[in-house]
């Protein structure tokens, strides 16, 4: 298997029954896999590890950042990058010598453990930063929700106040209309009352005028009757005088 320094990763601490299908299933999530090489030293040194080569260097970086310290088959695995050794005159440049690679792995085991510990601490720091960021995001979302509820409450209050103002305005308009109608009715009644009084006055005037006419006619009749009586008495006296002289 040819290792690419940028596209290959080392996966250590695998379970002894790990298979190529298992490795591909786990790491296919990060990109297309070019090759998988599993080394199981259970009988000799009790180690099982593998090398995974992706088609894209970015997939290797994502796999290292995400899978280091996680579990595969119930065991915590260590995921690091690898560096291939250039071959000598035999033309093996870029091709991995697994025996020497394994020896180099155990020779630098302590250094790797230190790197893994630092990686674990870095991962813990990243997790803490992520948790703090998530808490900040949750607080921000919660604050936005509270602001949204507060804004909706303010909107509801404004709508309620506007509705009350409209109701008060309608009530005021209805009261004003009723007062106007009452004033108009009172004015109509007042005009009718004035007209009735005027008609009564006219009738009284006419009645008085009729009474005056009748009174004058009665007085004239009495005067004419007295005049006739006087004339008759005068004539009777004259007739009596004439008879007496005769």
For the chain, give every domain's residue range.
Answer: 8-97
In sequence order, the β-bridge partners of residue 10 are 51, 80
Count the neighbouring beta carbons within 10 Å of the beta carbon of residue 78: 21
Which one is predicted more confidently, 225 or 120?
225
pLDDT digits (tens, 9 = 90+) for 190-236: 888 888 888 988 888 888 888 888 888 888 888 888 888 888 888 88
Burial of 49 (0-12, 13-18, 19+ CB in 10 A): buried
Topology of the domain comprising 8-97: Alpha-Beta Plaits (3.30.70)
DSSP 31: S
Per-residue confidence band for 26, with pLDDT thresholds at 50, 70 and 90: very high
pLDDT digits (tens, 9 = 90+) for 49-87: 999 999 999 999 999 999 999 999 999 999 999 875 544
Among 140-144, 187-191, 234-238, the least confident range:
140-144
CB 39 within 8 A of CB 49: yes
């Amino acid at each position: 298997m040819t290792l690419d320094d940028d596209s290959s990763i080392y996966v250590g601490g695998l379970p002894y029954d790990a298979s190529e299908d298992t490795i591909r299933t786990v790491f296919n999530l990060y990109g297309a896999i070019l090759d998988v090489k599993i080394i199981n030293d259970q009988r000799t040194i009790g180690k099982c590890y593998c090398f995974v080569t992706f088609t894209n260097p970015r997939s290797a970086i994502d796999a290292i950042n995400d899978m280091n310290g996680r579990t595969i088959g119930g065991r915590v695995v260590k995921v690091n990058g690898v560096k291939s050794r250039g071959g000598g005159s035999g033309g093996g440049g870029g091709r991995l010598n697994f025996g020497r690679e394994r020896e180099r792995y155990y020779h630098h085991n302590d250094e790797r453990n230190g790197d893994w510990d630092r990686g674990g601490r870095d991962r813990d720091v990243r997790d803490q930063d992520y948790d703090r960021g998530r808490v900040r995001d949750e607080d921000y979302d919660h604050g936005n929700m509270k602001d949204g509820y507060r804004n909706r409450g303010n909107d509801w209050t404004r709508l309620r106040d506007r509705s009350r103002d409209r109701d008060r305005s309608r009530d005021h308009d209805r009261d004003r209309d009723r007062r106007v109608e009452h004033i108009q009715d009172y004015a109509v009644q007042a005009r009718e009352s004035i007209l009735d009084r005027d008609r009564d006055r006219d009738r009284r005037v006419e009645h008085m005028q009729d009474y005056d006419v009748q009174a004058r006619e009665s007085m004239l009749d009495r005067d004419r009757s007295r005049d006739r009586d006087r004339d008759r008495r005068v004539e009777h006296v004259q007739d009596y005088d004439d008879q007496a002289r005769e």
